[in-house]
Amino acid sequence: MADLNTLTIAEARDRLRAGDVTARALTEACLTAIDGADALNSVVHKTPEKALEMADAADARLKSGDAPALCGIPLGIKDLFCTRHVDSQAGSRILQGFRPEYESTVTRQLWDSGAVMLGKLNMDEFAMGSSNETSTYGNAVNPWKVDDRKLTPGGSSGGSSAAVAADLCLAATGTDTGGSIRQPAAFTGTVGLKPTYGRVSRWGIVAFASSLDQAGPMTKSVRDAAILLQAMAGHDPLDSTSADIPVPDFEAALTGDIKGKTIGLPREYRMEGMSDEIDRLWAEGRKMLEDAGAKIVDVSLPHTKYALPAYYVIAPAEASSNLARYDGVRFGHRAKLDQGDGITEMYEKTRAEGFGDEVKRRVMVGTYVLSAGFYDAYYNRARKVRALIKRDFDEVFAQGVDAILTPATPTSAFGLGEMADSDPVAMYLNDVFTVTVNLAGLPGIAVPTGLDSKGLPLGLQLIGRPFEEGDLLNTAAELEARAGFVAKPERWW
């Protein structure tokens, strides 16, 4: 029973329903793995009592024949999701001690589907980061290692990617504002799906950039991503941006047949500084899909080069607005005041103590680009560029392209401290292949497809048509099958 935590969702689901294993045994295996993985710092709020209580309830449902899709499946939850009566800090000191009286829509739907919560997972503060080094809990660590170098698990969903890769949970939730599901997945040899904007409710998820944020699954396989997305997706009247469209059976879409599909390769994604290994992997991915019967065509997304600067205007602008609510009055951290201090001093001291450097940096940038005299020069122009980027994708899909194949990241996982302590702009370049998907509101998935010369995982990204996650998952499953990626990190933690 000790290796139950290594199962996929699909494998565990079938064994639970067959009565070969109990939800309690499955949960205990994960809790044991979590207790032995403190060196990874991926689980920051453990909830063992709640987990076992939920597992016992799942076993009762399984015994009675009332077993929803995720009944008894142990999951890790990114700290950005509000979970009732459980610490929900968004990786920030300013939300220390915040235990909501409500459940996010996504987690409520997961619990309604019978899933079990193992705990909350580490992340970059307010999801602002690409290496999980801005977290108030300290950085999570990638279970993959080169010599004695500790590597980043990616960000902002670094705790989620590390936990899934190390088999601490069967799957995890993540959020993706500019690549925060797909980049960590690529760095850890896992699957990360960012759904179409509006497919999954944002209600109860601590906001970073409201027009870009989207929750999605982080899993061990593409099939698991389909199963987990099924439970997470759906219209939510509490979220005004939630799409009121039917949720198809994503797992049923995994037919394994992509014959006749047209896959585009954007010439603008062959960028300066991209490693030869990533370039070779991209060529191999093309061959895999071609061998599966897909037609490969070159496409152009001409405004791609403007995506990163546009993103780093729009996202901080929205962040500066969303983070204004953290003032020390209603919840979270409040600074100690000196005699004579007024409300302005309280705001200043609370935010100075509560926010980390990266959050402060983005709030200041966001406030600047929204200020009088600069709004048109920066924010409004970035919004126009965003519209052009979306139009590029629309035109490609209008030409009959079903999906677009790109690298997921410019490199494999880098060492902790190698970028965060030197040049923030160099860190931002990690999002170069992923931010376009958020700006255009499209679905994108990262699939592990190989190892580099150092033995670290590399991933490819597939971008799909709006609300065609089923078709995208089917293509991703075929890429996954042909890549045959089965490598796991050697246990050192």
Question: Would you please indicate which residues are annotated as catalytic (active-site) residues?
Answer: 78, 156, 180
CB 249 within 8 A of CB 34: no
In angstroms, the Cα distances linking 29 to 2, 33, 114 are 6, 6, 18
Query: Dmax over Cα atoms in the chain, in whole Å?
Result: 74
CA 45 centroid distance within chain: 18
Strand partners, 86: 83
Residues 6 or more apart in contact with residue 373 via CB below 8 angstroms: none
CA 182 to CA 437: how far, in whole Å? Answer: 11
- Rounded Cα distance between 151 and 154, Å, is 9
CB-facing half-sphere around the CA of 243: CA atoms within 13 A = 14
Number of neighbours of residue 60 by Cβ within 10 angstroms: 12
Q: In angstroms, rounded to a whole number, what is the distance separating the alpha carbons of residues 356 and 92?
A: 8
Bridge partners of residue 288, in order along the sequence: none
Are 444 and 437 in contact by the 8 Å Cβ rule? The answer is yes
Q: Give the integer Cα–Cα distance in Å for 427 and 44.
A: 24
With b meaning 16 or more CB within 10 Å and e meaning fewer, what string describes 244-262? eeebeebbebbeeebeebb
Coil, helix or strand for 191?
strand
Gap between the Cα atoms of 290 and 292, Å rounded: 5
Decide: 90 and 128 in contact? Cβ < 8 Å: no
